[in-house]
Amino acid sequence: MTSVPSSTPRSCQALADDPSWAAKTALPTMPASSNPARPDLALFIPSYAGGGGERIALFLVRTLAEAGLRVDLVVACAHGELRDEPVPGVTKVELGAVTEILAAPAWVRYLKRVRPRCAMSMVHTANFVSGIGAFFATEVPVIVNLRIALRCDPAAQWWFRRWFGFAPERFLYRRAARVIGVSQGVADEAAEIFDVPPNKVVTIPNPRRSRDASLEIAPEHEPLFEKPVVLGIGRLAGQKDFGMLLGAFADVTARRDLHLVILGDGPDRASLEAQARQLGLSERVFFPGFVNNPQAYLRRARVFALSSRNEGFPGALIEAMEAGAAIVSTDCDFGPREILDDDRFGRLVPVGDASSFAAALEAELDEPDVGSNARRPARADWLRRFEPEVITGRYFDLVREVIEEADGGPSVLA
């Protein structure tokens, strides 16, 4: 187990424009601890991978630390694109596990030794390990944060659930102090599947992305935008169903001169590249990999396409809304319908239906391109509920409630 000093402070990419927001929002005071050395919160993630859950975790540890909490970021496997991201005022604890699931003994040892006042996990593997911690270190209240639909295409399901079903998680998560669903659909599903009491299930969405992220596209990517771009963003894995998007794009590009750009990386990269070649799209489909500033690409794209089989509350869709992109999305469980306010801000199509997706792309491309600057003002009021300071305040309140309950103090839920 390695503790890593916090990195040099720099502007938090997920904060609102004014860095003094924490003072202005007047967050409540955290209940005093009898041991000031104990962290208020230990946030546990499987790795530094560049996925949505890991990004939200880094956002939360930065902003909760700025709000005054003592925060440990505990990481099972110390690898991934986000390892060098700065987290000012946060202590990194790297467990040095070979795999995420095998981090369980080290996580339990950490909980027993450090005794954080509250622990929270994100991403399904970390949630499972965190549930084991709740079983063996009962003195530490644990919050499990569920970020994706639980019932989904078996091909997109976590291997552990395919083998063992939901019973092991049901056994563990009933011991959690809270279960968070990133959307109302995820929260309702979790209460049903894991048999968690309703007063322990809460919904907190993802925050909108940075307003101060770079809007400059990498110079080597400029040629990709010489033609109108359909843009996809996400991990190159079955859940995102980029294979379906390739099929829909092949249909559309037979009549239009377009590029398809898919940002991200993952285990399906080689097979997706092979599919693009088989469709004769090698000169039209591009996989630039992971980028730190997707907002810049979204503002330049003609259409943002979300092709997922299932989600929880897709951060890329929030980013597309903020960027003012035209949007075509599958109507998957869960998140797109909530984010788009039904079909007010984008086109929703059935999951896995390449023909319908192609038709929706065609319909959007037939519309006059008013540009991202014209779309953003119409979405501003709707997006305020996802402001970083609003979401941070909700997490702060939740951590405070859980600590008060554990300490025997007043409880909002009492």
pLDDT of 23 above 60: no
Helix (H, G, I), strand (E, B), or coil: what is residue 104?
helix
Q: Fold identical between 2-207+387-406 and 219-383?
A: yes
CB-CB contact of 331 with 368 (8 Å): no
Burial (0-12, 13-18, 19+ Cβ within 10 Å), 183: buried
pLDDT of 4 above 80: no
Sort residue 80 into left (φ over 0), alpha (ψ -120 to 50) or beta.
left
pLDDT digits (tens, 9 = 90+) for 343-394: 999 999 999 999 999 999 999 999 999 988 899 998 999 999 899 999 999 9
Give which of 66, 342, 313 is closest to 206, Cα–Cα: 313
What's the rounded Cα separation, in Å, for the pair 66 and 62?
6
**Max mean pLDDT range (18-27, 31-40, 51-60, 103-112):** 103-112
Task: Give the pLDDT band (50/70/90) at residue 31.
Answer: low
Taking each helix axis as running N to C, give the angle between helix 104-114 and helix 124-136, from 0 to 180 degrees, rounded to the nearest 10. Answer: 50
pLDDT of residue 21: 38
**Max mean pLDDT range (14-23, 200-209, 283-292):** 283-292
- DSSP-derived letter for residue 220 is G
pLDDT digits (tens, 9 = 90+) for 221-265: 999 999 999 999 999 998 899 999 999 999 999 999 999 999 999
* Single pTM value for the model: 0.77
pLDDT of 318 above 80: yes
Q: Does domain 219-383 have CATH number 3.30.300.130?
A: no
> What is 31-56 written as a DSSP string?
PPPS-TTS-SEEEEEEE--SSHHHHH
Burial (0-12, 13-18, 19+ Cβ within 10 Å), 279: middle
Hey, how many other C-beta atoms are within 10 angstroms of the C-beta on 402? Answer: 23
What's the rounded Cα separation, in Å, for the pair 76 and 253?
43
Domain ranges for the chain, please list them: 2-207+387-406, 219-383
β-strands 327-330, 259-263 pairing? unpaired
Q: Does domain 2-207+387-406 have CATH number 3.40.350.10?
A: no
